[in-house]
Homo-oligomer: A and B are copies of this chain.
């Protein structure tokens, strides 16, 4: 019997009416003969409300207690969703992360799933019940509650789909699917029927908020097809799957804007083996994602490392890199040789076809130049190009790039292909550190 994992996000279950419409999706899947595992997030603004409560009692609440606090949000959702399904005549059973056997490492607020003890889950499925599982949360070997950080509920859903060998993992959100660009910023953006894991990974890490890269990476690793759908409206959504080798890839499938980019520059490091590792290992150990690493050598044997992080992570990253830099060379007054700056955004173009087409980068640079927009930094990957810009240029840059790659019209790809033929291929940039 086929099995589907259906994940409903916070806004999709924010009230009884919306929750009921989500439960109808479950009922439809059951009616078509499928077994269903449901994953839900905390309802609506619950997580923000809980964090505000924490802020009222503590200026720097402990991460362990934040996890204990936030996990209550999904616990409310699973109970209410199970009750909703009961009311529709289905035998459902809510399971916290711990009850569902979702095991994780002991890293509070940012844990990774280490495995799923399926005994309970299988018992419920064998009894023909619908497990309603709390997303975002897991349990350590010591019985401590941990949360999985941003995108945690998507990750829970895909991990369950992988463990149970589900046919598909459906991610229900408040959008119709994945678009060529954010429709709020680019009015003529169009929904994509299908994208590859790699395209989403590139787009997601660069600011498309529909799916978190962790969940997509997991889907890619285990070959779980993921479909992004609107929870309250019917539609085909967007299927995320492996690249189909029989089909021609699109050169550029979407463009993305990421705001709140913080930049850190560390000057005057010795160019010796292990320097980069000494700087980034403590950042990685803190579970913080780093992007757009660029290395310069302004003077012989002395290098500058520049990279970006989410602005929210700057306060945590700064002392880590200052300490690392201090161990690598004498402190450099007045700022320890570490410069932190904000006010940046990142505009990116993504497409699996970039592997086989050249000239994409130069088309993007021309679109920005025509708008008089200054590029602060450039990074590229196999299937993506990103430009760091001043934050106030972001929306205008996004529209210009979307237009330049012809994403607004159905003939987009042909036109882009014609434009870029024969143009020089942009050099491959540094890999994303994560």
Contact = CB atoms under 8 A, between A and B. Distances in A.
A83 B58 contact: yes
Interface string A71-110: 1110110111011101100000110101100000000000
Interface residues of A, number: 40
A80 B76 contact: no
Contacts of A73: 72
Contact of A57 (B69, B80, B143): B80
B61 A98 contact: no
A289 to B, nearest CB: 26
Nearest to A68: B79
A337 B83 CA distance: 36
A87 B76 CA distance: 27
A56 interface: yes
A96 B62 CA distance: 16
Integer count of this chain's copies in the complex: 2
Given A82-B65, A83-B65, A76 B50 contact: yes
Nearest to A66: B79
A20 interface: yes
Contact of A99 (B20, B79, B143): B143
A186 to B, nearest CB: 37
A56 B94 contact: no
A94 B72 CA distance: 13
A369 interface: no
A79 B59 contact: no
Given A57-B16, A143-B99, A78 B68 contact: yes
Interface string A29-54: 00000000000000000000010011
A19 B58 CA distance: 12
Contacts of A145: 96
A98 B68 contact: no
Contacts of A57: 16, 19-20, 80, 83-84, 87
Contact of A65 (B16, B54, B71, B86): B86
Nearest to A143: B99
Given A80-B53, A82-B65, A143-B98, A58 B87 contact: yes
B84 A58 contact: yes
A86 B63 CA distance: 12
Contact of A54 (B80, B96, B144): B80
A66 B82 CA distance: 10
A328 to B, nearest CB: 34
Contacts of A76: 50, 53, 69, 72
Nearest to A67: B79
B75 A71 contact: yes
Contact of A69 (B58, B75, B84): B75
A20 B56 CA distance: 10
10 contacts: A64-B93, A65-B80, A65-B86, A65-B94, A68-B94, A69-B76, A72-B73, A72-B75, A96-B145, A98-B143
Sorted nearest first, the 5 A-B pairs with minimum C-beta distance are A69-B79, A72-B72, A58-B83, A16-B56, A68-B79
